[in-house]
Structures are given as C-alpha cells and as structure tokens.
Structure 1
C-alpha cells in the first residue's frame, strides 16, 4: 500500500468539496469587506478557479451522495478523493489510475466495478 507518512490519517477532500469551501470563504470575504477594492489574494482566486474547473460534481446533493457511496467501500481517504476527482468510467481505468484499489483482500473486481458504476450513475443524474 502507498505510504503517505504524516498524511496517512488526514482527511482528503475532493475538488468539488474544496470548491464549496472556497466559494463559502469567498462569500464571507465579500460580506466582511465594505471596501469594493478589497480583493482576495491571487493564490486564493487561482485555487478557487482550479477546483471549480476540475470538479466533477457541482450539485451539493451529488457531492454528499458521492462521499456516502464511496464511504461504503474499504477505501483509503486518498483513494476516495481520487475516485471522486477522476470518476473513472471502467474497471480497467479505475485500476490503472489507482492501482492500490486491487490490493489483495480489500476489494474484489466486482466491488470495484460496482463502485465505478455507482459513480457513473451519480454523475449521470447530477
């Protein structure tokens, strides 16, 4: 299994979750600022634009559903975030982009395929 040292127990977020957090923070900055010239930092804005561009889900209900569905499987946090960000469309694609999914004894090929299908259904109905 992949070793992430200090980050092994860290909670990983999908791009869609980060986008939601940054959008909320951006709104807070706007409400707190009486000065219309007061802007957020360039790094903040670029980060927000990045996660908005690469998020796979924009509907908040879909984001919650993705996390709930993926949490049912025995996934490491980084695997969950990668699946939510990449949304592989086939079993082979999922295994090739996240090879740790086929670690012996954790998930069967059938469960990985079901996981991919579950993601596809959520994406389809978003």
Structure 2
C-alpha cells in the first residue's frame, strides 16, 4: 500500500503482510491464544488485568469450535492435504478437486475424511 492509503479492514484495505498470510484453523488459533494467555498469567499478579474482553471472547470462541486439541493432531491436520497432492493446504482444496475426475474426487475426499477421523479418534 502506498503511504497515502490508510489501512481499513472494513473496505478490505489491509497491509501487505496480510495479503501473503495463510489462514489458520480454529484449533491453531486456540493453541496460539492459550499460549499467550499462559504467558500473561506468568507475568502478572492479576492476569485478568492484562486480558481484554476481546481476547477472552476470542479464546472462548476458538476453544468451542476447535475440533482438535492436541498440538500433534493439529499439525497432522494441517499437513493432511499435502498427502493428497494439495500444495497450499485447505484453501486450495477446491482447485484440487476441480482438476480431478468425479470418481477420483469422491475417492480422495472419502480417504481424506477417514484419515481426519483417525486423527481425531487417536487424539
């Protein structure tokens, strides 16, 4: 962005670093926020003074909707698409499916879902 333009998320005017950023799953955000929360607890006598309401609500949200809790399981889920030839993770799954035949789509999706179920089962 040029120096004259101001960042504005409402108008999707965001900084360059966000244009190249990868999306995180709720379970990844949960791990990050939990780690930050633990750091805040260790550095303050009263950790609630340092935790904003937005931070607290965000942490509650991602914990509620995080399917995977174990860091190893989260890593396996993040890497799962690469086993099926998807280079950029879950975001490009649609492109991956468009390049294959319908029978291969169903088979690949079924295999991936089974693999994800196993990760969850053994978490």
Task: Provide the TM-score with structure 2 as the length reference.
Answer: 0.68
Which of structures 1 and 2 has the larger relative contact order (alpha carbons within 8 angstroms, sep 6+)?
A: 1
Unaligned 5+ runs, structure 2: 1-15
For 2:118, the equivalent position in structure 1 comes to 121
Given the superposition, is the C-alpha separation of residues 117 and 35 from structure 1 closer, same or farther in structure 2, using an over 3 Å criterion? closer
Instruction: Give the RMSD, CA atoms, in angstroms.
Output: 2.8
Given the superposition, is the C-alpha separation of residues 112 and 36 from structure 1 closer, same or farther in structure 2, using an over 3 Å criterion? closer
- 1:46 equivalent to 2:57? Answer yes
1:60 to 45, 50, 71: 71
1:46 Cα deviation after fit: 0.2
2:29 to 18, 42, 57: 18
1:104 to 93, 99, 105: 99
Of the two, which has the highest radius of gyration? Answer: 2
Please say if residues 40 and 47 of structure 2, whose CA atoms lie closer than 8 Å, have aligned partners that are also in contact.
no
Unaligned 5+ runs, structure 1: 1-5, 81-97
1:65 Cα deviation after fit: 1.6
- Look up the SS of the partner of 2:49 in the other structure: coil
Given the superposition, is the C-alpha separation of residues 37 and 27 from structure 1 closer, same or farther in structure 2, using an over 3 Å criterion? closer
For 2:9, the equivalent position in structure 1 comes to none
Cα distance in 1, alignment partners of residues 89 and 101 from structure 2? 14
